[in-house]
């Protein structure tokens, strides 16, 4: 697969009389018509295509050999005698057509003008249909890798392939058999390929050089950044940041590359995944002149996207929006972003204090960890600032006791807090292979509802898996949101500090819990039952049968 420079093509071997023509053809093409692209000779190709300055005139053919005044061409389609004659007339040679698979033709076409030195994120176009190709990631990545001549080209190839397939992270893991390459796509890791053991270490070292890391030290974790350009589908060059981190492990150093294309990835608030029932409520929070909005969820739950999208929606020229973040992941227009730097004394608390002297209207505080920051944030939210922050809790309700623990006065919290957004990301069912099926009793039991509680057709959806979604059945993700709005009774409960009362109150009201939001998405055909159970915390889906629960309005 990975060629050395002294390697010879089938044509060279034929010319050196190491094999005969029949053997050369057998090397190039197996019985099923699959080509061994690495054995093709570029000179044969060049000579042939020189004769056809306008390739549009040509049917799909791959030049395999030129031998004894005969071009051996592979083609995925049947050529009419007339077409074959036209080729003969132009080449002034004999022409023999050998059937090859469509896939081989496509692969050959994709690698023909492949440039290892630029990171292309454009989807592959099928030369036979002119449509976007659903690529077999492993196959095309391996194919492109075979064209890469050094480690840096290999890394760029891996990154380009990751971008084409909407991956957010690339994992390079040393194993006893070689360097395992995996991509995280829609939140799930997928094996892509394995680089040979001989080059494993060299690839990691090259990556460390690209990220300006200390290559001499492989016993400690490192982190670094790479700034690169990549080419989009419409041929534009855009900037991209890559955050690289390494970790020494038993088989060597593992590297993870987080891909951060600088193209603003944030959409609009309406498209984040909020249930139609709670979206208007959330939007009213964003219009408030003051108050505190808390976002919760583990790393990778999409809360940063929701935060940034919301900030962008309200960052107009008449307001001053300032953030303190660790790290600043995306640079956003119309927003002053600052980066926490503990060593320089720029902590969240110090940053917040400094921001407050800068006449802010809207403040985004990456995280609240200590008493002082929490107290200052709450006070800011009570004195004419709209404050956004995040907390690490499992669900929306969990934010209340957490904030209590950190320490501000409960009465201040209950006055300042507008509400809490808790979220997770679920994968959307692939629209290309989506199918419906009647919900079974087991499905209802799993969701903890009765068939009679469903107003709509009791139909569920799933993705069969197709080439468009890389056989996963899913494409893209959206948020499942649990929204806790602080109404008067909740403010009073928070003030009194009794969490049991809060739970009881929420069960009796129309609280959009994770469970309700998930049931809504499942019956709306946005995601599958399995996905909901994969993503949401178990506690959120547990049904407490001893206490009746109100059902979402859409189904009641
Ligand atoms: Zn699909």
Residue 267 pLDDT more than 60?
yes
Structure tokens at 46: 């060049």
CA 475 to ligand 1 centroid distance, Å: 7
What is the radius of gyration, based on Cα positions, of the chain?
Answer: 29
pLDDT at 3: 39
How many A from CA of 474 to the centre of ligand 1? 6
Is the pLDDT assigned to residue 129 strictly greater than 90? Answer: no
Q: What percent of the chain has pLDDT over 90?
A: 50
**Most distant pair of Cα atoms in the chain: their distance:** 94
What pLDDT is stored for residue 556 in this prediction? 35
Span from the CA of 137 to the centroid of ligand 1 (angstroms): 15
- Cα 190 to ligand 1 centroid, rounded to whole Å: 16
Under 8 Å between Cβ of 120 and 231: yes
pLDDT in tens, 32-47: 999 888 788 888 988 8
Q: How far is C-alpha 452 from the chain's CA centre?
A: 38
**pLDDT band per the 50, 70, 90 thresholds, residue 8:** confident
pLDDT of residue 161: 86
Using 50, 70 and 90 to split pLDDT, how confident is the model at 552?
very low
- State mean pLDDT over 221-231: 86
554 pLDDT band, cuts 50/70/90, is very low
Pick from 267, 379, 362, 287: nearest CA to 324: 362
Q: What is the pLDDT of residues 486-525, one digit of tens each?
A: 999 999 988 887 888 888 899 888 888 999 999 999 999 9
User: How many angstroms is it from 462 CA to the middle of ligand 1?
Assistant: 10
Q: How confident is the model at residue 546 (pLDDT cuts 50, 70, 90)?
A: very low
Give the pLDDT mean for 118-138.
68
- 163-177, 180-194, 219-233 — which is least confidently predicted? 219-233
**Rounded distance from Cα 470 to ligand 1 centre (Å):** 7
How many angstroms is it from 469 CA to the middle of ligand 1?
Answer: 4
Interior angle at CA 110, CA 105 and CA 114, nearest 5: 145
Contact at 8 Å (CB) between 164 and 120? yes
Q: How far apart are the CA of 525 and the centre of ligand 1, in A?
A: 14
In contact, 254 and 173? CB cutoff 8 Å: yes
- Give residue 477 CA to ligand 1 midpoint distance, Å: 14
CB–CB of 143/111 below 8 Å?
yes
Give 296's strand partners: 391, 422
Asked if 61 contacts 73 with a C-beta cutoff of 8 angstroms, the reply is yes
If you measure from the C-alpha of residue 196 to the centroid of ligand 1, how many angstroms do you get, rounded to a whole number? 31
pLDDT over 90 (residue 455): no
Q: What is d(CA 532, CA 530) in angstroms, rounded to the nearest whole number?
A: 5
More confident site: 434 or 448: 434
Please compute the mean of the pLDDT values over residues 98-119 and round it to a whole number: 77
DSSP state of 510: T
> 436: CA distance to ligand 1 center in Å?
13
3-state SS, 327-386, equals: CCCCCCCCCEEEECEHHHCECHHHHHHHHHCCCCCEEEECCCCCHHHHHHHHHHHHCCCE
Say how many C-beta atoms besides its own lie within 10 A of residue 30's C-beta.
13
Q: H/E/C letters for each residue in 253-315?
A: EEEEEEEEECCCCCCCHHHCCCCCCCHHHHHHHHCCCCEEEEEECCCCCCHHHHHHHHHHHHC
- Euclidean distance between CA atoms 453 and 230, whole angstroms: 50
| Tens of pLDDT, residues 293-351 | 999 999 889 998 899 999 999 998 899 999 999 888 788 888 999 999 989 999 999 99
Residue 119 has pLDDT above 70, yes or no: no
> H/E element holding 307?
helix 303-314
**Alpha carbon of 473 to ligand 1 centroid (Å):** 5
Ligand 1 centroid to Cα of residue 533, in Å, is 20
35: tokens are: 């080509």
Query: What is the rounded CA–CA span in Å between residue 60 and residue 97?
Result: 11
Residue pair 100/76 in contact by the 8 Å Cβ criterion: yes
Residue from 391, 227, 427 nearest 297 by CA: 391
**Which of 319, 359, 273, 282 has its CA nearest to residue 531?**
273
Mean pLDDT to the nearest integer, 522-529: 94
pLDDT score, position 530: 94
Do β-strands 167-175 and 94-99 pair in parallel, antiparallel, or remain unpaired?
Answer: unpaired
Look at the alpha carbons of 42, 44, 46, 48 in this order and tell me if their dihedral is positive or negative: negative
Q: Is the pLDDT of residue 208 over 90?
A: yes
Q: Can you tell me the distance from the alpha carbon of 97 to that of 73, in angstroms, rounded to the nearest whole number?
A: 5
Residue 398 token pair? 């969990």
**What DSSP element (H or E) covers 522?**
helix 514-523
Ligand 1 centroid–CA 429 distance in Å is 8
List the alpha helices (DSSP H) in 19-80. Answer: 21-28, 42-50
50 C-beta neighbours (distance < 10 Å), count:
8
Query: What's the whole-number mean pLDDT along residues 182-190?
Result: 92
Average pLDDT score over the chain: 87
Q: State in Å: Cα 488 to ligand 1 middle.
A: 46
pLDDT of residue 490: 92
Distance CA 212, CA 244 (A): 10
Q: ω before 553 within 30° of 0 (cis)?
A: no
CA of 463 to the centre of ligand 1 (A): 6
505 C-alpha to ligand 1 centroid (Å): 42
Classify 172 in phi/psi space as left (phi over 0), alpha (psi -120 to 50) or beta.
Answer: beta
The DSSP string of 144-162 is HHHH--SHHHHHHHHHHHH
- Write down the pLDDT at residue 529: 94
Query: Could you tell me the distance, in angstroms and rounded to a whole number, from the CA of residue 130 to the centre of ligand 1?
Result: 20
| pLDDT for the residue numbered 116 | 60
Residue 136 tokens, joined: 């077999």
In the reported structure, the alpha carbon of residue 435 is separated from the centroid of ligand 1 by a whole-number distance in angstroms of: 10
């Amino acid at each position: 697969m990975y060629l050395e420079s002294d390697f010879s093509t089938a044509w060279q071997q034929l010319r050196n009389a190491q094999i005969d023509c029949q053997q050369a053809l057998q090397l190039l093409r197996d019985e099923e018509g699959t080509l061994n692209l690495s054995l093709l000779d570029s000179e044969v190709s060049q000579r042939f295509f020189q004769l056809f300055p306008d390739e549009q005139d040509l049917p799909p053919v791959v030049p395999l050999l030129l031998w004894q005044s005969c071009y051996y061409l592979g083609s995925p389609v049947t050529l009419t005698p007339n077409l074959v004659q036209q080729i003969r007339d132009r080449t002034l040679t004999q022409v023999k057509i050998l059937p090859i698979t469509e896939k081989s033709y496509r692969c050959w076409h994709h690698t023909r003008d492949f440039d290892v030195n630029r990171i292309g994120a454009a989807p592959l176009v099928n030369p036979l249909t002119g449509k976007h190709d659903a690529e077999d990631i492993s196959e095309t990545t391996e194919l492109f890798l075979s064209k890469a001549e050094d480690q840096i080209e290999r890394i760029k190839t891996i990154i380009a392939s990751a971008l084409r397939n909407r991956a957010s992270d690339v994992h390079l893991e040393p194993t006893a058999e070689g360097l395992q390459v995996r991509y995280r796509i829609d939140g799930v890791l997928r094996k892509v390929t394995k680089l040979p053991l001989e080059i494993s270490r060299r690839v990691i070292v090259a990556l460390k050089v690209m990220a300006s890391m200390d290559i001499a030290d492989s016993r400690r974790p490192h982190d670094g950044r790479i700034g690169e350009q990549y080419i989009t589908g419409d041929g534009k060059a855009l900037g991209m940041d890559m955050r690289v981190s390494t970790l020494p492990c038993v088989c060597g150093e593992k590297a993870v590359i987080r891909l951060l294309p600088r193209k603003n990835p944030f959409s609009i608030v309406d498209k984040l995944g909020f249930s139609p029932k709670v979206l208007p409520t959330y939007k009213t929070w964003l219009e408030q002149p003051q108050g505190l909005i808390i976002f919760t969820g583990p790393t990778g739950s999409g809360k940063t996207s929701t935060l940034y999208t919301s900030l962008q929606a309200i960052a107009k020229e008449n307001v001053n929006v300032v953030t303190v973040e660790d790290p600043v992941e995306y640079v956003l227009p119309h927003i002053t972003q600052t980066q926490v730097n503990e060593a320089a004394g720029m902590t969240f608390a110090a940053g917040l204090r400094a921001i407050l002297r800068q006449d802010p209207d809207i403040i985004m505080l990456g995280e609240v960890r200590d008493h002082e920051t929490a107290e200052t944030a709450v006070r800011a939210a009570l004195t004419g600032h709209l404050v956004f922050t995040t907390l690490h809790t499992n669900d929306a309700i969990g934010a209340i006791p957490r904030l209590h623990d950190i320490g501000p006065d409960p009465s201040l919290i209950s006055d300042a807090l507008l509400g809490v957004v808790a979220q997770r990301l679920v994968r959307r069912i692939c629209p290309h292979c989506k199918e419906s099926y009647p919900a079974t009793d087991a499905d209802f039991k799993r969701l903890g509802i009765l068939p009679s509680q469903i107003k709509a057709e009791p139909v569920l959806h799933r993705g069969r898996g197709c080439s468009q979604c890389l056989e996963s059945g899913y494409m893209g993700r959206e948020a499942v949101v649990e929204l806790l709005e602080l109404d008067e009774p909740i403010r009073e409960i928070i003030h009194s500090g009794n969490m049991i009362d809060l739970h009881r109150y929420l069960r009796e009201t129309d609280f959009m819990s994770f469970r309700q939001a998930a049931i809504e998405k499942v019956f709306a055909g946005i995601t599958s039952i399995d996905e909901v159970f994969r993503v949401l915390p178990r506690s959120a889906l547990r049904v407490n049968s001893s206490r009746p629960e109100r059902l979402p309005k859409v189904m009641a």
